[in-house]
């Protein structure tokens, strides 16, 4: 599990890359990662939203949106949130969520989730 300094490093990295970026589409490759909604509802509710900032509460990352809700993420044991310019930048084998942004992509990748 990432320790607190690593989570803070991820927060800083994401805040610099995501601030002001708008979500155009969300592809859910592993439905059980989405809690309290269906994957279709999750994707529909995030489409069109823009990131305003990224904060942290303990080991949880809070991706603030210009919407009435925010996106709460826990990296679990080996998960990572990565920003990339190309859709296949990190491969597809362990990428379970892909957020298509107005410029670039946000990937949730976890090598221990099958």
pTM: 0.89
Which residues are paired to 110 by β-bridges?
79
Task: Report the catalytic residues.
Answer: 2-3
A 10 A CB-CB count for 7 gives 19
Mean pLDDT across the chain: 91
Of 23-27, 30-34, 47-51, the one with minimum mean pLDDT is 30-34
Domains parsed from the chain with CATH numbers: 4-110 (3.20.190.10)
Whole-number pLDDT of residue 4: 87
Res. 23 pLDDT band, cuts 50 70 90: very high
Strand ranges across the sheet with 51-57:
51-57, 60-65, 71-74
Task: Give the C-alpha separation, 21 to 6, whole Å.
Answer: 23
Task: Give the C-alpha separation, 80 to 41, whole Å.
Answer: 23
- The pLDDT tens digits for 73-114 are 998 888 889 999 988 877 777 899 999 999 999 999 988 765
């Amino acid at each position: 599990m990432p320790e607190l300094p690593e989570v803070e490093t991820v927060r800083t990295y994401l805040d610099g890359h995501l601030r002001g970026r708008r979500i155009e589409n969300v592809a859910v490759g592993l439905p059980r990662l989405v809690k309290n909604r269906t994957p279709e509802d999750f994707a529909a509710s995030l489409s069109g939203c823009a990131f305003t900032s990224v904060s942290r509460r303990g080991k949880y990352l809070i991706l603030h949106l210009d919407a009435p809700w925010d996106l709460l993420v826990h990296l679990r044991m080996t998960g990572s949130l990565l920003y990339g310019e190309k859709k296949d930048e990190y491969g597809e084998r362990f990428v379970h969520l892909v957020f298509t942004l107005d410029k670039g992509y946000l990937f949730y990748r976890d090598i221990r989730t099958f």
